[in-house]
């Protein structure tokens, strides 16, 4: 076992079998957040099995070798704790937040879920229906559906363009043998990261993991990360739907999560649509009154990244709202940020990062994120220093490349024949 201290109260160990374990001691709290990340998400799925990672995430809660589904539900909640899971593009995660005295129980329950699920055919038939209901709920929520349609338009030939939930066809075709094979191929210690933050010691977590068998077995390399297929840029896609609003997303691909330019791009995205002070909120909502909801976002994955803008508006206002967004993109791509925006963007991004780290769960996720990305741990002061080092030349170059209107793929979801917007009464 190789263990090193990364920072004050922060340790990292790598077990002989490849498992990565990280902890951060936070003596001022009485809780612990602990989670298991498995390097298997929807971005790794073959076309015929789209949604299998998410379905597996559901199925592990239906029962394990030591606990029934009801016992899993009650184990931590009856002590005031919580148990949660999610599936992403690059990984699946199972997390618990408990009182410090209940850390042994949390590790035991997480081990049950990740290492010892039953994955019975009868449970698959029940949970298949639950996932199909989840897919239907997205289809009934146009402000969610438009993002899935935009991803498909941007990456038509890549798993990133597929819904994490899968489709009714792929979910309907999956068998218990398929799910067991997926579990066996990905859910092993060398493909996992375990992180915890709160009132615990690194030695205690190692002892608990050893008790649960996490440190046993031969070394096994993690699954390799994959490159994304080339994105379809400058595409316009329209989906007719009888909705009361037009839902529009425009955006493009960017770069992977490990790219050092990610802070400069995050700063730009915040300035464009990161809140009430952003350019788009002030222009599209406050000045023009064209929308209630408008914001920009960015996602970074192992093989690529994405930025975009969402706006929901009356059908008759869609063209005007889209034109206003494109106008702001043109201005940003041409002139970049002025000095005040650059300085304000630095303060905003640093504040967001620091405020997000005020909970054990956020600190746990930060530790796991660095390990999943294969990056060395960087102290908070170093991260803030990198944000301070972002220059106007850097942001201007990124603005010119990634906010160029011709690069943006547009997804429009709403009525086919949009009525003209009425003029406001004077």
- Backbone φ and ψ for 251, nearest 5 degrees, come out as 180, -175
**Could you write out the three-class secondary structure of the chain?**
CEEEEEECCEEEEECCCCCEEEEEECCCCCEEEEEEEECCCHHHCCHHHCCHHHHHHHHHHHEECCCEHHHHHHHHHCCCCEEEEEECCCCEEEEEEEEHHHHHHHHHHHHHHHHCECCCHHHHHHHHHHHHHHHHHHHCCHHHHHHHHHHHHHCCCCHHHCCCCCCHHHHHHCCHHHHHHHHHHHCCHHHEEEEEEECCCHHHHHHHHHHCCCCCCCCCCCCCCCCCCCCCCCCEEEEECCCCCEEEEEEEECCCCCCCCHHHHHHHHHHHHCCCCCHHHHHHHHHCCCCCEEEEEEEECCCCEEEEEEEEECHHHHHHHHHHHHHHHHHHHHHCCCHHHHHHHHHHHHHHHHHHCCCHHHHHHHHHHHHHCCCCCCCHHHHHHHHHCCCHHHHHHHHHHHCCHHHCEEEEEECCCCCCCCCCCC
CB 62 within 8 A of CB 127: yes
Q: Catalytic: 133?
A: no
Provide the angle, in degrees to the nearest 10, between the axes of the packed helices 202-211 and 103-115: 40
Q: Which two tokens stand for residue 154?
A: 């941007």
**Rounded Cα gap, residues 48 and 169, in angstroms:** 9
Pair 155, 228: CB distance under 8 Å: yes
Catalytic residue among 24, 45, 57, 127: 57
Round to whole Å and give the CA distance between 35 and 58.
Answer: 16
Q: Is 192:37 a contact under the CB 8 Å cutoff? A: yes
Cite the active site residues: 57
């Amino acid at each position: 076992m190789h263990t090193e201290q990364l920072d004050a109260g922060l340790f990292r160990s790598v077990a002989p079998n490849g498992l990565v374990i990280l902890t951060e001691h936070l003596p001022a709290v009485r809780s612990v957040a602990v989670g298991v990340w498995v390097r298997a998400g929807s971005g790794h799925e073959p076309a015929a099995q789209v949604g299998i990672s998410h379905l597996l995430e559901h199925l592990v809660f239906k029962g394990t070798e030591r606990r029934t589904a009801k016992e899993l539900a009650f184990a931590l909640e009856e002590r005031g704790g919580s148990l949660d899971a999610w599936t992403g593009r690059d990984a699946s995660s199972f997390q618990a937040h408990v009182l410090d005295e209940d850390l042994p129980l949390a590790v035991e329950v997480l081990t049950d879920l990740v290492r010892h699920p039953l994955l019975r055919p009868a449970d698959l038939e029940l949970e298949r229906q639950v996932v199909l209901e989840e897919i239907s709920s997205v289809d009934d929520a146009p402000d969610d559906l438009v993002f899935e349609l935009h991803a498909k338009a941007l990456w038509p030939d890549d798993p990133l363009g597929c819904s994490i939930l899968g489709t009714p066809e792929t979910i309907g075709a999956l068998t218990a043998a398929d799910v067991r094979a997926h579990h066996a191929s990905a859910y092993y210690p060398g493909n996992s990261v375990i992180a915890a933050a709160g009132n615990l010691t690194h030695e205690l977590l190692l002892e608990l993991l050893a008790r649960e068998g996490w440190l046993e077995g031969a070394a096994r390399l993690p699954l390799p990360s994959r490159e994304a297929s080339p994105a379809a840029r400058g595409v316009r896609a329209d989906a007719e739907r009888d909705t009361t609003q037009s839902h529009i997303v425009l955006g493009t691909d960017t770069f992977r999560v490990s790219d050092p330019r990610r802070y400069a791009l995050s700063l730009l995205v915040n300035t464009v649509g990161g809140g009430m002070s952003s350019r788009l909120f002030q222009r599209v909502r406050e000045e023009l009154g064209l929308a209630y909801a408008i914001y920009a976002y960015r996602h970074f994955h192992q093989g690529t990244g994405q930025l975009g803008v969402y706006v929901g508006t009356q059908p008759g206002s869609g063209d005007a709202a889209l034109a206003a967004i494109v106008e702001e993109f043109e201005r940003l791509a041409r002139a970049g940020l002025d000095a005040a925006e650059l300085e304000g963007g630095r303060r905003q991004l640093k504040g967001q990062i620091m405020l997000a780290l005020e909970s054990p769960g956020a600190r746990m996720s930060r530790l796991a994120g660095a390990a999943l990305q294969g990056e060395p741990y960087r102290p908070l002061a170093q991260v803030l220093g990198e944000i301070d080092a972002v220059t106007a030349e850097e942001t201007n170059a990124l603005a010119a490349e990634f906010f160029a209107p011709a690069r943006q793929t547009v997804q429009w979801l709403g009525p086919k024949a949009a009525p003209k917007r009425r003029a406001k009464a004077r």
